[in-house]
Amino acid sequence: MRTGAKLARPEWADRIERLREKLQLNQAALARLLHVSPMAVSRWERAVNEPEAGYYIQMGTLAGEPDCWYFWQRAGLPSTDLMRSLRKLGGARTGSKPASSASETESSLHPVPVLDATASTSDRGDNEPNLEHLQTVGTIVLPSGWVQNHLAIKCLRVEGEGMYPVLPGGSIVGVDLSQFDRTRLYGQIVLLWHKDHGLKIHRLQKAGETEVLLSDAQGQIPVFALDRNWRLLGKVIWWLTRPKSLSQISL
């Protein structure tokens, strides 16, 4: 071996870096999803330290098929245990489908937690900035195309008519907590928190050198000018809305 030649990184370090790049995240963003420091992610990618099994499991969930199997097996989980866990995660299903058909159905659906929290589009929302620690009160099962970053997506309720008619009060929104870079979210609907206003949902925009939160309802633009007291939690990627009166629907 030549003097000064670099030792090749182990495969696990290379896989972690490739996963991060696939998710289009920097080290700080991946660290936030996994609840570790950015330095920890840096050490993993440089093969200074190897992640514990729990972090490999979370990375497998983020990776999706087929890469998930590498991370989960790296965590030391046998394939039989993994399949059992995935079936439980997908929830019980009735019917006597062939094994291959049932497996395809489970892999195309993902459960997303509904948190015990409410964000407002007009008045004050719940004062809960740390969504990761909130209690889950329900689950929504969605197609895999709706939940690309499965671990990063949380659901919560919406109150107020500040975003009507785009996002009416009473809706349930899905928020991708991995998307919190303001410069990439101008024009998008986002979830934020402020100690005086609680959880808020508005459209983020830039007016000159100032970042503002807009309301889609007439006569309420702009709502707030952002300062350092606002914390951007994530991007609202979809929402589910129930008609106010079911009698309005003609069958």
Check residue 101 and give its pLDDT: 44
User: Could you say which of 2.60.120.650, 1.10.260.40, 1.20.90.10, 1.25.40.850 is the CATH number of the domain covering 11-85?
Assistant: 1.10.260.40
Q: Find the mean pLDDT for residues 104-124.
A: 80
Which band of pLDDT confidence, cut at 50, 70 and 90, is reported for residue 98?
Answer: very low
The reply to whether domains 11-85 and 109-243 share a CATH topology is: no
Q: What average pLDDT is seen over the chain? A: 80
String of b and e for 82-117 (b: at least 16 CB within 10 Å)? beeeeeeebeeeeeeeeeeeeeeebeebbebbbbeb
For the entire predicted model, the pTM comes to 0.62
**What are the residue boundaries of the structural domains of the chain, listed by start?**
11-85, 109-243
Per-residue pLDDT at 108 exceeds 50: yes
**Residues above pLDDT 70, as percent of the chain:** 78
Does position 172 have pLDDT exceeding 90, yes or no? Answer: yes
Q: What are phi and psi of 136, to 5 degrees?
A: -90, 130
Could you say which architecture CATH assigns to the domain 109-243? Ribbon (2.10)
The residues, any chain, with a CB within 8 Å of residue 245's CB and separated by 6 or more, are: none
Does the pLDDT of residue 158 top 70, yes or no? yes
Summarize pLDDT for 76-86 with one digit per residue, the tens: 765 555 555 55
